[in-house]
Amino acid sequence: MSENTLNPKLYRLLKRRFNQVKVSNAGEAAQITYRRNVHHNNREEPEAVHPGEYYQVNCPYCADTRQRLYVNHMFGQVDDEGNGFWHLAHCFNENCLSTRGRVSEFVEDITELECDIQKFKVMPGKEIDISKIEVTWPGAVQRVDKLPRDHNAVQYLISRNFDPGRIGRYYNVHYCIDSNRYWLAVNRIIIPIYNDKRMIGWQARSIGEPRGENPPPKYYTCPGTPRRALIYNFRNARKYKTGVVVEGATDVWSFGPMACSTLGATMTDHQQRTFLAAFRQHSAILLYDPEEYEKPSVQKLIAAFSSAFAGGFAAVKLPLGTDPGSLDRTFQRTYVKEQAAKQGVKISWGRR
């Protein structure tokens, strides 16, 4: 098997150490992009847009028995600028490789200090057009509007002032009943992410806030989802005269169909170009959570957008302690319109 992998020596070491190794995205090349890290002197740092081939093993640092430690075939490689791809190994069970010290420990464990992982030869893989990526549901699922009224997922949505009927029918949101492959998706709300009607990823949202000494992540994203190239609900939002950029999918549900999510409080260059192309002749609103506005990356985004839209742009900060996902839709739209008007921007919630 090792001779058919993109990083044969890394695969053999993992096989020797863990015995059971699962290969995913076999033969696919990693697609690495670079982002500017404002916290490290604006240094350009590598990030995988599409992970390509990776190897799954049982994490040795937690009670993992489902091969939830993902080791990318580019793990440990170094680019021309000296950036090491040490971040390309991740434990999806308890995030065990979150520190550089633990990563170093893992490298020593699999190599036994016999070799330099940075010098492993990586074979060229097949370039995947991320525009053609398509995924399936994580396992057995049921659309949320088809669940019984007393189901915990339905009750959770209602407690957040979401209409399960609308969320199910309009956004095709499901609930994961069981999964043989994605343990962290089970008993979670599954939010599909589409590109031109193709599901190319999904996020599994916990019902309520995760608790415990080492709680699982609130959101678990399907491995391989090209998050930095996606804008959630963009196909619907671009039909409106004013586009609203929010952080998360639930913020979209709360604000309405003219909102689209960057799946986090950052907007990549690709996302910016995509959004600009659709709204350049119209108007736009940035509606991140209030605490995000002081971050240099968000300030840079505001500066880039300030004069980019023919109809104007406004960065609106909601009252402190609130976020788009926690406020009434009518209040939000009225508040945003008023705050945008103070910045000289006239907006419309109507379709084009």
Instruction: Chunk the chain into consecutive blocks of 10 residues (it has 352) and report each block's average pLDDT, rounded to whole numbers.
Output: 83 93 87 60 63 89 86 87 82 82 92 83 81 87 97 95 95 96 93 90 90 78 80 95 95 96 85 92 95 87 93 93 83 95 94 94
Supply the pLDDT for residue 17.
93
Nearest to 340 by CA among 288, 304, 287: 287
Helix (H) or strand (E) holding 330: helix 329-342
Token pair 């705050």 in the structure block, residue: 339
Cβ neighbourhood burial of 185 (10 Å; 0-12, 13-18, 19+): buried
Give per-residue burial for 144-159: e unless 16+ CB within 10 Å, then b: bbebeeebebbebbee
Token pair 């404002």 in the structure block, residue: 38
Contacts of 215 (CB under 8 A, 6+ apart): none
Supply the pLDDT for residue 73.
92
Length of the chain equals 352
CA-CA distance, 288 to 251, in Å (whole number)? Answer: 9
DSSP 132-166: G-----SSEEEEGGGS-TT-HHHHHHHHTT--HHH
- pTM beyond 0.85: no
Cβ neighbourhood burial of 229 (10 Å; 0-12, 13-18, 19+): buried
CA-CA distance, 98 to 92, in Å (whole number)? Answer: 11
